[in-house]
Amino acid sequence: MPVPSILFPADPLNPRRPDPHFAWEARILRELGGEHHLVDHDALLAGQAEEAIRRVPRGIGPLWYRGWMLPSARYAEFTAALTARGGNPLTSAPGYAAAHELPGWYSVFEGATPSSVWIPSDGSAAPGPEELAAAVARLGGSGPAIVKDYVKSRKHEWLEACYVPELADLAAVGRVVGRFVELQGEFLAGGVVLRRYEEFERAAGEAGCTDGAPDCTGGGSDGADGRAVEARVWWLDGRPIMVGPHPDDPRQQVEPDLTGVPALVRRLGCRFVTTDLASRADGSGWRVVEVGDGQVSDLPRGIDAAGLLTSLITA
């Protein structure tokens, strides 16, 4: 059976080398005897998928990707171009969208993840007051919440564009959502998501933080103090192949309780995904904060990735 190769983004300054962010993964892969090829991320983003994959040999067979996030539509073009060249992307375009975008995975993880509602939007204008009021009502109408799009939050602008202290204050919801949409601009992915805020265990040193901010300054600090402690669990074919820290806090050791999660991951039906897990502050258990496509989930640099990469190339 042919062995999967891995595609990495090329260094924009030196297209024959992997992008510096992924070079260490590519090096480990080589040491393991794996094969990698390079793709042009900027061309993928520009909708020029055939151009982007011109260095991938024809008839290459099974393929994983490890690279920067792509919008689901760009990923679909990427896989179509690879298939036309004789490649066999092991994550299909629908599979990528299901793991990458919250509305794709939410129904499977409902109950294990904070309650969420969403309003589709192309980002050209923020949702109007009536749409927001209806969404707030669907979410229960009161209590704290967070705002994000189908893929990303603006957690570093917590008070301005992420955290809503009280959903019943519709004017405040409108302000935070409006600022979020403005800051995301053309990069808004899919639409606006509102999620009920849950109190998670924080990293040591945040005592006295009362506004729920992952960093207590609320002013864009990237400090780890106070942010929910999360574990990133990497899954292949429904089995956890690595449990590591979230890339925001790579030194944090976290041992999540995975009870019940494998069944959800299997039900999602995507071969290679990540789940970020946080423990509720009241000790009532672990929650799935986010699901992601494993191909575009960030891997903290320097972590022992040999097992993960071995699993991928022997999949």
Ligand X SMILES: Nc1ncnc2c1ncn2[C@@H]1O[C@H](COP(=O)(O)OP(=O)(O)OP(=O)(O)O)[C@@H](O)[C@H]1O
Residue from 19, 25, 40, 198 touching ligand X (CB under 6 A): that is 198
To the nearest whole angstrom, how small is the minimum distance from the Cβ of residue 227 to ligand X?
Answer: 5
Q: Does 271 bind ligand X (CB under 6 A)?
A: no
Residue from 146, 231, 264, 265 touching ligand X (CB under 6 A): that is 146
The 153-172 site mask, x for binding ligand X (CB under 6 A), equals x-x-----------------
Q: What is the CA radius of gyration of the chain?
A: 20
For the chain, what's the residue count?
315
The 224-253 site mask, x for binding ligand X (CB under 6 A), equals ---xx-x-----------------------
Residue 169: CB partners within 8 Å, gap ≥ 6? none
Query: Which window, 119-127, 147-155, 216-224, 251-259, contacts ligand X (CB under 6 A)?
Result: 147-155
Q: Does 290 bind Mg ion (CB under 5 A)?
A: yes
Q: Which of residues 282-301 bind ligand X (CB under 6 A)?
A: 289-290
Q: Does 114 bind ligand X (CB under 6 A)?
A: yes
Q: Does 214 bind ligand X (CB under 6 A)?
A: yes
227 binds, among Mg ion, ligand X, none (CB under 5 to 8 A by kind): ligand X
The 13-52 site mask, x for binding ligand X (CB under 6 A), equals ----------------------------------------
Q: Does 198 bind Mg ion (CB under 5 A)?
A: no
Q: Which of residues 92-111 bind ligand X (CB under 6 A)?
A: none
Structure-block tokens of residue 268: 């999602």
To the nearest whole angstrom, how small is the minimum distance from the Cβ of residue 254 to ligand X?
Answer: 12
Q: Does 195 bind ligand X (CB under 6 A)?
A: yes
How does DSSP assign the chain, residue by residue? -PPPEEEEEEETTEEEEE-TTTHHHHHHHHHTT--EEEE-HHHHHTT-HHHHTTTSPTT-EEEEE-SS---HHHHHHHHHHHHHTTEEESS-HHHHHHHHSHHHHHHHHBTTB--EEEEE--SSSPPPHHHHHHHHHHTTS-S-EEEEESS-B-GGGHHHHTEES-TT-HHHHHHHHHHHHHHHGGG--SEEEEEE---B-B-TT-TT--S--SSTT-SS----TTSBPEEEEEEETTEEEEEEE-TTSTT-------TTHHHHHHHHT-SEEEEEEEEBTTSS-EEEEEEEEGGGS---TTS--HHHHHHHHT-
Query: Which window, 73-81, 195-203, 217-225, 264-272, contacts ligand X (CB under 6 A)?
Result: 195-203
Query: Which window, 34-42, 45-53, 194-202, 251-259, contacts ligand X (CB under 6 A)?
Result: 194-202
To the nearest whole angstrom, how small is the minimum distance from the Cβ of residue 288 to ligand X?
Answer: 10
Q: How many residues bind ligand X (CB under 6 A)?
A: 18
**Dihedral (C-alpha) 48, 53, 55, 60: value to the nearest 10 degrees?**
-160
Interface with ligand X (CB under 6 A): 114, 146, 148, 152-153, 155, 195-198, 200, 214, 227-228, 230, 276, 289-290
